[in-house]
Amino acid sequence: MRQRGRQVGRAGRLHRRTWVATMLTISRAFALPLACTLALTLTLAPAMSVDAASGKPFQPAVQEPRAYGYLLGDILTQRILLPTGANDAGPVAPPSIGRTGAWLERRPARYETDADGRRWMAIDYQVVNVAPTLTRIALPALRLTTASGATLQVAEWPLSIGPMTSADAFDAGDLQLMRPDRQAPLAPTAPLRREASVALGLLLLTLFAWLGWWLWRNWRESAQLPFARAWRQMRRLDGPGADTSADAWLCVHHALNETAGHVVHAGSLPSLFARAPYLQPLRTQLEQFYQQSTERFFTPASTAASYPLRGLCRSLYRAEQRHER
């Protein structure tokens, strides 16, 4: 029995030693990863925390734009990582907008959230001025204040801007410093010439038609109207003796008789004016005409004074024209 008890004691001590060895092996296996994780956590934690109580500026992570290749009008974006979670210090006031200097203009900031749930402040800058040569400028440094009073400080970011073209021309071939004025393209004039020709043709046709109508009207009047025929015959009797010609006096008498519809003499003038009232303004001249006609044709050895027969015939013709038109 004593020997059996010794064997049981040895077995117990051996089991305890085996358990201790196993635990030591497990501890060694997890000790190094745990230590690395703890060290990494302690290293990154200050980078994402904002100590509002201390008032020390905090430098957040920043995604800067590329530093080269910008021309007039280009827009570049700067993104600033905002603290979140346990390190959240509240909303961050955006920077002011407008010109930041001679080269850049800051636009209103906007907030973005990436696929990992992190919040970023995106600030756009536009190049509003360039120098004649390649120039080094910088995005201005920023001091952003959170709602808790903490300060996020962003350092300036150098970059370069340049002109769209070189200030010096190549002076070869068509590559000159100054370009001549560009000539305006010539408008096609063939359609305009055709339209002008058509318009001119229509104008000439209208003028010829009007002239033809005017000639036809005068011809018709001279053929049909009594005083028009008398005036045409009177113009044929050209010369100083036209007013004393018997043919001239007879043609005026025939015109008056045709107008009245009967033979007219000094006593029947009222019937003439009743038939042709447009002759009423010439009443005095017609009375003198018949008085002179009686002396000329019915008085022997008449010495009648000269009478302006041509003027009377023209007045009768014009009165007839006004009446017909």
The domains of the chain, with CATH numbers, are: 62-161 (2.60.40), 218-324 (no CATH)
pLDDT digit string, tens, across residues 164-205: 877 777 777 777 777 778 888 888 999 999 999 999 999 999
- Of the ranges 12-21, 45-54, 255-264, 295-304, which is most confident? 255-264
**Half-sphere exposure in the Cβ direction for 263 (13 Å, CA):** 2
Taking only the tens place, the pLDDT of each residue in 59-103 is 899 999 999 999 999 999 999 999 875 445 568 899 999 999 999
Q: Could you tell me which residues are beta bridge partners of residue 211?
A: none
Q: Identify the weakest region by mean pLDDT among 121-130, 170-179, 183-192, 286-295.
A: 170-179
pLDDT at 301: 56
CB 159 within 8 A of CB 76: yes
Q: Which of 6-10, 138-142, 150-154, 237-241 comes out lowest in average pLDDT?
A: 6-10
With a CB cutoff of 8 Å and minimum separation 6, the contacts of 177 are 168, 169, 171
Q: Give yes or no for a contact between 58 and 88, defined as CB atoms under 8 angstroms apart.
A: no
Tell me how far CA of residue 308 lies from CA of 100, 169, 256, 260, 284, in angstroms.
Answer: 104, 94, 17, 22, 13
Q: Are strands 75-81 and 62-63 parallel, antiparallel or unpaired?
A: antiparallel
Among 117, 112, 115, 114, which Cα is nearest to 77's? 112
* Joined tokens for residue 32: 């190094």
Residue 109: band (very low, low, confident or very high) from pLDDT cuts 50, 70, 90: very high
Cα dihedral sign, 209-315-251-275:
positive
pLDDT higher for 13 or 299?
299
Residue 109 in tokens: 């900031």
Comparing C-alpha atoms, which of 259, 243, 226 is closest to residue 293?
243
Q: What is the pLDDT of residue 90?
A: 67
Residues 290, 269 contacting (CB under 8 angstroms): yes
Instruction: State the helix-helix crossing angle for 283-298 and 309-324, rounded to 10 degrees.
Output: 140
Average pLDDT, the chain: 80
User: Which residues 6+ apart lie within 8 Å of 259 measured at CB?
Assistant: 226, 227, 272, 275, 276, 279, 320
Return the percentage of the chain with pLDDT > 70, whole number.
78
Q: Which residues pair with 207 in a beta bridge?
A: none
pLDDT score for 32: 46
